[in-house]
Amino acid sequence: MKEKYGSIQMMRGIAALSVVFAHIGTISNGFFGVDLFFCISGFIMMHVTERSGRHFLEKRAIRIFPLYWCTTLLIVAMLFIKPDFFKSLILTSEHVIKSLLFIPYYHRVRSGAEANALNFVGWTLILEVFFYFLFFISMQISHKNRHYIATAILLTMVIVGFIFKSNIVFIRFYCTPIILEFALGMFSYKLLTRPDVKQWGSFRAIVAIFAATLIWAILFVLTNIPQFMEYVRNIRIIPYGLPTFVVFLLLFKAFEGRSVPKPLIVLGNISYSLYLIHWFVIHGFSRLVYDVEHNSPLSLTLAFLVVIPLIILFSWISWWLIENKLSEWLRKRLKV
Instruction: Summarize pLDDT for 84-123 with one digit per residue, the tens.
Output: 777 667 778 888 999 999 998 876 554 445 557 888 899 9
Mean residue pLDDT of the chain comes to: 91
Give me the mean pLDDT over the 178-203 stretch.
93
Domain residue spans of the chain: 6-334
Q: Is the pLDDT of residue 334 over 90?
A: no
For 67, the enclosing helix (H) or strand (E) is helix 56-81
- C-alpha 306/C-alpha 202 separation (Å) is 37
**pLDDT attached to residue 333:** 86
What is the phi/psi pair of residue 115, to 5°?
A: -100, 140
The pTM of this model reads 0.93
**pLDDT attached to residue 150:** 98
- C-alpha 172/C-alpha 82 separation (Å) is 33
Residues 6+ apart with CB under 8 A from 292: 24, 25, 26, 282, 285, 286, 299, 302, 303, 307
Neighbour tally for 229: CB within 10 Å? 14
